[in-house]
Structure 1
Amino acid sequence: MPEGHSVHRIARQFDRNIVGHAVHASSPQGRFAEGASVIDGRTATSVRAVGKQMFLEFDGDLWLRVHLGMYGAWDFAGEIQADPTIAAANGRMGQTNQRGTVFDDAGENSLTSIGAPRRTRVRMSEQTTGLPEQDAQWPPPVVGQVRLRLLTEVTCADLRGPTACELQTPDEVAATIAKLGPDPLVDDVAAGEQRVVEVIARKPTAIGQLLMDQGVVSGIGNVYRAELLFRARQNPHTPGRDVPSDVVRGIWRDWVRLLQIGVETGQMMTMDDLSPDGWRAAMASRDDRHWVYHRAGLPCRVCGTTILVEEMATRKLYWCPNCQS
């Protein structure tokens, strides 16, 4: 499932390429035909991401809400203008001036996955993959089950497989966002920290479940959950109300940092203090990018204990029973 950093990257892509333009909207698949007909011809006026949800505003006080869920993705084709806050991602977030093209094992160019203006397709999702060059046909042919296509004169955005794709009024958008926990890139960071601390202090639910609850904190998914808990050396089964407040504050502050890294690099990089070669290896391979996620049966990078995997609220939880005891 796309986690918070991916949705913020997608929103920045929309802000750079779709906002300010009238769009032709269609639903090639047919499942959003009525909604597409309502926004067809309207101008996109703003966009915002909150946690795992994106809200695209159109003239006439109308919003499109998209939640990608487990399988959703946006594909962009045409002339793609890179958002400078992403295109300027430089080496290891300022730790080095190293530059260069780094493709991960799924084919993504981690540093320029949005890229300069070009005729190509760019997939914006958690499982980003390099798609083949397109021919000169415009608009590009529809490929697969496209729920919604938004088309400007030079840019095409195709939505596939979302959990939610619906039109909302401003009041409905506000109500949706009100149900979400704080997002470090949207809310005041200090206020968000205090809110998370107070909510978790009241909960008997395991901290490993609370971090995945979008009503507690927005944007954290399975990867970031496992990595944040390991980095805090926190047992995932501890009831939230029993986790010391300073530990919860540390997790929030770590989330603030990791989310920004994810937005700027396009990867859920959770390893610290890597050498330049180590950083490039981690950017190129997810196996080298995380402390515990997807490492079931392998030795802990810190203590050597076998990393465990178990089900927690229907999702796989990776953790070290020694470091996180």
Structure 2
Amino acid sequence: MPEGHTLHRLARLHTDYFAGGPVRVSSPQGRFVDSVVVDGRYFDRATATGKHLFHHYEGGLTVHIHLGLYGFFNTYVVPDGAAPPAPVGQVRMRVDGAGERGEVPGGPGVGVVEPGAVGSAHVVDLRGPTRCDVIDDDDVAAVRARLGPDPLDPHADPERAWDRIRRSTRPIGALLMDQKVLAGVGNVYRAEVLFRAGLDPFRPGTSISEAEFRQLWDDLVAMMAIGVDTGHIHTIRAEHDYGDLPRRGEDRPRNYVYQRDGWACRVCGDEIALETMEARTLFWCPSCQAGRARR
């Protein structure tokens, strides 16, 4: 499932592509029946909270998108006068930025964006989302109210997350993945931020000090911002970046522990461990993150 930085990056890109003009919205697959409600309207902006993406339109209507495990966008650049490519596969929603083109004929993460040019328009195709429907402003507020603070939101209140963590006996590794505690943190950032802090993922929230929580929050803010800017998760500090093959192949981004089970820890040389925590795979270094009271 894409982590929060992916949704914030999509929000930034889609605002750049579509804001300030009318767009054509269709459902080649036929399942997004509400597409007719926003088709032809002016696209105001796109925003994100945690793993939720919102396309805001004139008149207070919003398309709410949750990519889930299998959802992703493909993006195309279409020169003026040209027709967009035919949808490939089960496209739930197509957004065509060339509002004057007329009828629109009827892809985990961000698709490949080909170079654009002056006199071109963007078209994005959404495939396989968990959710894609039209909601109003009250519904948007309700979705956001159910979520914890988002490290990528400059107005977020980390005290809300700290208050829940310090009162909980659940492991800190599970709390970081709970979207009601922190919005947007997924398995990669969970594993990497705990390693960078030297924290045992099995420590209960009640044992985490405020200083330790602040370190986690500040580190998430910094790391996830890099993800928004670059489109890639990069968690390695310069002193530990040896340029080796970090996970399972040359195309994998470098990291400390995520998907490195059985490999030597970059810092201590001991073996990275893999365990299951609340039905999710956990990667950690038992030496660098020592301190667990063994079950």
Distance 1:69 1:274 in 2: 35
Aligned to 2:96: 151
1:261 CA drift (Å) = 0.9
When the two structures are aligned, how many residues end up with a matched partner? 266
Return the letter of the residue paired with 2:260.
Answer: R
Runs of 4+ in 1 over 4 A off after TM superposition: 274-277, 279-282, 284-288
| Counterpart residue type for residue 78 of structure 1 | V
Structure 2 residue identity aligned to 1:152: G
Offset of 1:193 from its aligned partner? 2.5
Aligned residue runs from structure 1 range 68-83, under 5 A: 68-78=67-77
Give the Å deviation of 1:59: 1.2
SS in 1 for 2:34: helix
Give TM-score scaled by structure 2 length.
0.84
Structure 1 residue 39 and structure 2 residue 38: aligned? yes
For residue 160 of structure 1, report the CA deviation from its aligned partner: 0.6
- Aligned partner letter, 2:147: L
**Structure 2 partner of 1:2:** 2
User: Cα distance, 1:251 vs. partner?
Assistant: 0.3
How far residue 279 of structure 1 moved from its aligned partner, in angstroms, is 10
Summarize the Cα distance change of 1:275–1:322 in structure 2 as closer, same or farther, 3 Å threshold. Answer: closer
Give the drift of 1:313.
2.0
- Encode CA deviations 1:198-244: one digit per residue, 9 max, x unaligned: 22001111111110111111111010000011111111111111112
Select which of 284, 288, 294 maps to 1:323: 288
Could you say which structure has the greater relative contact order, defined with CA pairs below 8 angstroms and 6 or more residues apart? 1
Task: Check if 1:188 corresponds to 2:155.
Answer: yes
**Which residue does the alignment assign to 1:19?**
19
* One-letter amino acid of the counterpart of residue 64, structure 2: R
The CA RMSD over aligned residues, in Å, is 2.2
Question: How many Å separate the matches in 2 of 1:184 and 1:54?
Answer: 15
Task: Give the gaps of 5 or more residues in structure 1.
Answer: 80-118, 120-135
Shift of 1:310: 1.6
In the superposition, relative to structure 1, how do residues 155 and 55 fare at CA in structure 2: closer, same or farther (>3 Å)? same
User: 5+ unaligned residues in a row in structure 2: which ranges?
Assistant: 99-120, 291-295
Partner of 1:301: 266
**Separation in structure 1 between the aligned mates of residue 36 and residue 274 of structure 2, nearest angstrom:** 46
TM-score relative to the length of structure 1: 0.77
Equivalent residue for 1:161, pick from 103, 128, 132: 128
Q: Does 1:218 align with 2:183?
A: yes
Sort the Cα spacing of 1:279 and 1:312 in 2 relative to 1 into closer, same or farther, 3 A.
same
Q: Would the alpha carbon gap of residues 279 and 171 (structure 1) be closer, same or farther in structure 2, given more than 3 Å must change?
A: farther
In the TM superposition, residue 78 of structure 1 has moved relative to its aligned partner by 1.2
Sequence identity percentage: 44
Give the whole-Å Cα distance in 2 for the aligned partners of 1:150 and 1:10: 13
What is the aligned partner in structure 2 of residue 290 from structure 1?
Answer: 255
- In 1, distance between residues paired with 2:145 and 2:259? 33
TM-superposed deviation, 1:314: 2.0
